[in-house]
Structures are given as C-alpha cells and as structure tokens.
Amino acid sequence: MMRVYLLRAKISLSNTTVLKYMQELGLRSTVTPKKPAYKKGDCYKKFENHLNRKFHAEKPNEKWCTDFTYIFMEDGRKRYNCSIIDLFDRSVVATLNSRHIDAELAVQTLKAALERNHHPKNLLLHSDQGSQYTSRAFTDYCKEEGIQQSMSKAGCPYDNSPMESFYGTFKAEFISKHRFSTDEELNNATMDYVYAYYNHIRPHSSNGYMTPFEKRMQA
C-alpha cells in the first residue's frame, strides 16, 4: 500500500526500495488478523449463492456484501461491527457498532445503507449463513424492500471474500492502531475512518487504485 501512495504522488520506487526505506524509518506493514468464527443460532430461512463469486458490478447499488466482526474496547469489553460494501466501487455504504451481534444490528445497518442510497431497486445482498441473516426479522425486512438475498456456502469465507478483505483492512489499519474507552469514541472514530478516509482517500486495488469515491464519480 505504501508503494501505491507513492505512485499516486508520481514517485516511482521498486518494492525493494520502499521496503528498505520503511525499515530504515522503523515502519512496518500491517498484518491482517484472522476473522473469528461465529456460532449459528436458529435458522428461519437460507438462500442460494446467487452471487456465486461474481464480485464485479456494472453499476452502483447492484450488488452489496455484508458481514460482522468484533472490536475489543480498552478495558476488554467486546463490541460488534456490521458493515455493507458496494461491489461496484468497494465503498462502505453503511457501518454500525453495537454491544450485541444480533439480527437487530443487521437490520439497522441495512436500513442505514438503503436510506443513504435512496432505496435502490433490484439489489442483490450477499452474506454468510449466520443466524442474523437467516433470521425472520432480517429476511422479512429484505423481502419488504425487494432485496434478493444471496448466501455463501456454510464455512466458505471465499464466497464473501470482498467482505473478508475489507475487514482485514479495517482491523489492521484502524482497530489495531487505536484504543477506545467509550462507545461514543468508537462510533465517532469508525465513522471518520470509513466515510472520510476509506471511501474518499484510500486507493483500492479493485478500482485500479482509484478511491471508491473516484470510481463512483465515473458511474
């Protein structure tokens, strides 16, 4: 990623040279942590994998992916993040934190994404088979909004690899570098990272190293 920023600034250096300077300056690349396994609860309804690893979208708000991850507070308390990304430009269309990893968090995150994007039509939403996404509350809400649900095969993270990639970046670049003592601190910092930095400043390889905002402006 350091070399990408240099290239965007029209500074051409090899990976070896960049690594050499980073070592001299005491800089280290971030390491992507492993995603935790979540226990499954009662299942109301499951769906086929309609996305089928076709991670390219022709236009904004055509294909979204969603998932959860955890965040540890400074005192060891656990919080949960639910985010949704748009496969067209890899932008985060909604992100919310909560004390509980439940269907309510999934519904509220989706509701926020729909409101931010004026309730798009013919939307495909892909997730894993977690109980939050197979719950009656979530599946009924998707049905009300005309959203087609798609689900990964059980135990197959590669079926939702764009979300795995996002959360790897989210935890390596953001969560691992900060400590939060209150929910307000966590929520404000999350919004700043996602909407100000990740969507508007950070280049993304899937966009030809344009930022999500730059890619969306071309739509």
DSSP state of 32: P
pTM: 0.83
Strands of the sheet with 148-151, listed across from one edge: 92-98, 78-86, 63-72, 124-127, 148-151
- Give just the sign of the alpha carbon dihedral 170, 106, 84, 48: positive
What kind and span of H or E run contains 85?
strand 78-86
Phi, psi (5° rounding) for residue 69? -145, 170
Contact 130, 38 (CB under 8 A): yes
* Domains detected in the chain: 1-30 (no CATH), 63-217 (3.30.420.10)
Residue of 58, 76, 84 whose CA lies nearest to 181: 76
pLDDT for 28 equals 56
Q: 10-residue block means of pLDDT along the chain (219 residues)?
A: 51 58 56 48 82 98 99 98 99 99 99 98 98 98 98 96 98 96 98 98 97 96
Residues whose CB is less than 8 angstroms from the CB of residue 180 and which lie 6 or more positions away in sequence, other chains included: 71, 73, 74, 186, 189
Distance between first and last Cα of the chain: 25
Element (H, E) at 95: strand 92-98
pLDDT at 38: 46
Spatial distance between the Cα atoms of 177 and 112, rounded to a whole number of angstroms: 27
**pLDDT of the residue at 3:** 47
pLDDT of residue 165: 97
